[in-house]
Amino acid sequence: MTPADRLYTKTHEWLKIEGETALIGITDHAQEALGDITFVERPPVGRKVEKGKAFGSIESVKAASDLFAPVSGEVVQTNAELEKTPGLINEDPYGRGWIIRVKGIEADELASLLDAAAYEEGLTEES
């Protein structure tokens, strides 16, 4: 269920390393909890994001939440498809529902992130 090819945060973001850059999105659990997503506020390309700090926000029918950066880095691309179809996050949170791509990641920041098994374990404790 939770893809093993990436890392996770306790705040329900995922990070997938792809060469020199990494994709960031939110987990299936997060999209489920938020319900129908209506809007995603994405940072502009070039913006520096900081590990643990908000880089944008996500709105669903009745809630709004911050998106926290799993690592520090610089935004090189954001998912423009979310502008018209924010529901992509509900449909395909680990694929077409990605949110931003960052570069300049420090390897030692990855150590504190969770693998799929540890993230799922956290979910069980939460519920």
Partner 1 sequence: MSYVPVTPEQRARMLAACGVRSIADLFRDIPSDSAPRSFDIPRARSEMETSAFFRELASRNYSHLTNFLGGGFYDHFIPAAVDAIVSRSEFYTSYTPYQPELSQGTLQAIYEYQTQIARLTGMQAANASVYDGGTALYEACQMALHATGRNRVVMDGGVNPIYRKMLVSYTANLSIEFAEIPVSHGRTDRQRLFDALNAGTAAVILQNPNFFGVIDNHADVVEHCHSRGILVIQSVYPIAMALLKPPGEIGVDIATGEGQSLGIPLAFGGPYLGFMATTRELIRRLPGRIVGRTVDRHGREAFVLTLQAREQHIRREKATSNICTNEALCALRAHVYLSLMGKEGLKEVARLCRAKTAYAMERFRAIRGVRVMESSPVFNEFVVHLPMDAGDAAGMLVERGVAPGLPLGRFYPGMENYLMIAVTEKRTKFEIGMLAESVESVICQ
- Euclidean distance between CA atoms 36 and 110, whole angstroms: 30
Token readout for 25 is 């999105």
Smaller CB separation from partner 1, 21 or 38: 38
Binding mask 47-66 toward partner 1 (x if CB under 8 A, else -) reads ----------x-xx-xxx-x
Shortest distance, position 13 Cβ to partner 1, whole Å: 18
Token readout for 1 is 């269920």
Q: Phi/psi of residue 56, each to 5°?
A: 180, -170
- Exactly one of 18, 32, 33, 39 binds partner 1 (CB under 8 A); that residue is 39
| Beta pairing class for 54-60 and 64-68 | antiparallel
**Which residues of the chain form contacts with partner 1 (CB under 8 A)?**
38-39, 41, 57, 59-60, 62-64, 66
